[in-house]
Amino acid sequence: MTLTKIYQVENDKVVIDLPEAFKNKKQLLITLNDVTDSKIHKLNMLKKAAKYPLFLADVAEINNEFSTVEHENL
């Protein structure tokens, strides 16, 4: 089972109440990820992609391939 949830940090501590599926387990793998930095990084990557020639070529190719689908009756 995997749990993804955003927790608030208070006084440099995070308290996690384990769901029933995780109780009585001997070990858990916990990965910490800074949500704010991650979102900013992803937004910056999207902004760069909007100007990246290979990405723009891929979008144009996909748009071209699906342009005929718009006119078909589905």
Residues 30, 7: contact at Cβ < 8 Å? no
**Residue 8 falls within a domain, yes or no?**
no
User: Is residue 18 a part of any domain in this protein?
Assistant: no
| pLDDT one-digit tens code per residue, 6-53 | 888 999 999 999 999 898 999 999 998 887 777 888 889 899 988 999
In a domain, 66, yes or no: yes
Give this prediction's pTM.
Answer: 0.43
Domain tally, the chain? 1
Is residue 74's pLDDT more than 70?
no
Residue range of the domain that includes 55? 33-71
Measure the CA–CA gap between 35 and 38, rounded to whole angstroms: 5
Q: What dihedral do alpha carbons 7, 15, 13, 27 form, nearest 10°?
A: -100
Tell me which DSSP letter residue 18 carries.
P
Confidence tier at 65 by pLDDT (50, 70, 90): confident
User: pLDDT value at position 69?
Assistant: 75
